[in-house]
Amino acid sequence: MAFRRDLLDELVVPDGTEAKEVALETDGDVLVGARSTVEFGVRGRNVLAGESVEFGGDIEAEADCRLDMWCDVADNVLVGQDAYIGERVHIGGEMKVAGDLDIGDDVEIDEGFEANGWIVIRNPMPTIVFLFVYLKQLLLIGEEDAAQRLVSQLVDDDEDENEDAEPVPDPLIVPRNATVSDDAWRVSTPATIGDDCRLHGNIRAESIDVGEDCNIFGSLRAREDVTVGEGTRIHGDLTTRSGDVVVEPGARILGDVSCSDLELGPGAEVDGSIRADGEITMGTTERDLE
């Protein structure tokens, strides 16, 4: 997994992520920065959340779940392996853990909990805080290989390091102080959306890079550049404050486009009006050149 110098300085939606009515579903891990609000439930492999994160639905983790202090989960928490719950966490439903449960003080679980393994009542180390402080120190001293190994180990403790092992999917990363809902995805960082994603809600970010063959049911608005991948459909307007827009071949914007420079690839379509302060470049196909 490639990562920036701060693991939570970008919204990253991996390939194949789907926002359904009640949950965000991804094949990999889910990492949520402190003080963020996710109005969906989440379903992933490992689920890790920083302090004071709010979830509007269930959490379903195939492997481990780690919630730091003051998190709030509206419904159930279902964990396939071990759970680490910080102090003053509130869970509005029930909690079921297939493995061990490490739980802090003053945790409220409205409908009770059960664990098949050991239950330890203490204040677990805030794993998100530990992860990012240690990771930053490794990067500051130039130990990028060690930092990469640390991330791989923490997001998948059971990963087989054999060369024949299946590749681990990239995680879904929600940066600090973000809001993710059916209405809007609001972050103050860049946003990168992978291929074959299906998302609902307007996306607001510093810059936006959307992969191929996605369906985004909402508008895109950024302060800087926006790229829309080949074959993607944006069901809304596309606006940048001071950036350029690239719409790759076969992509379609079902709304207006407002930007500085605009580049349209072969077969790209804009259904609404175009307002560009700079140049508009239109690609051509081989048929157009004949």
pTM for the predicted model, two decimal places? 0.82
Q: Are residues 152 and 205 in the same domain?
A: no
Cα–Cα distance measured from residue 182 to residue 286, given in angstroms and rounded to the nearest whole number: 40
Size of the chain in residues:
290
Supply the DSSP symbol for 221: E
Q: Are residues 42 and 140 in the same domain?
A: yes
Beta bridge partners of 148: none
Predicted confidence pLDDT, tens digits, the chain (290 residues): 344 445 678 999 999 999 877 889 999 999 999 999 999 999 999 999 989 999 999 999 999 999 999 999 999 999 999 999 999 999 999 999 999 999 988 999 999 999 999 888 766 555 555 555 555 555 555 655 655 555 555 555 544 444 555 666 788 999 999 999 989 999 999 999 999 999 999 999 999 999 999 999 999 999 999 999 999 999 999 999 999 999 999 999 999 999 999 999 999 999 999 999 999 998 765 545 44
Q: Are residues 157 and 226 in the same domain?
A: no
Q: Is residue 184 part of a domain?
A: no
Q: Are residues 57 and 142 in the same domain?
A: yes
Question: Which string of b and e fits 15-45 if b means at least 16 CB within 10 Å?
Answer: bebebeeebbbbbbbbbbbbebbbbbbbbbb
Domain extent for 220: 190-289
Q: Is residue 62 part of a domain?
A: yes
- Structurally, how many domains does the chain consist of? 2
Q: Are residues 47 and 145 in the same domain?
A: yes
Q: Is residue 13 part of a domain?
A: no
Q: Are residues 268 and 157 in the same domain?
A: no
Supply the DSSP symbol for 7: T
Q: Are residues 156 and 205 in the same domain?
A: no
Q: Is residue 260 part of a domain?
A: yes
Q: Are residues 155 and 41 in the same domain?
A: yes
DSSP track, 125-155: --HHHHHHHHHHHHHHTT-HHHHHHHHHHHH
Q: Is residue 126 part of a domain?
A: yes
Q: Are residues 47 and 151 in the same domain?
A: yes
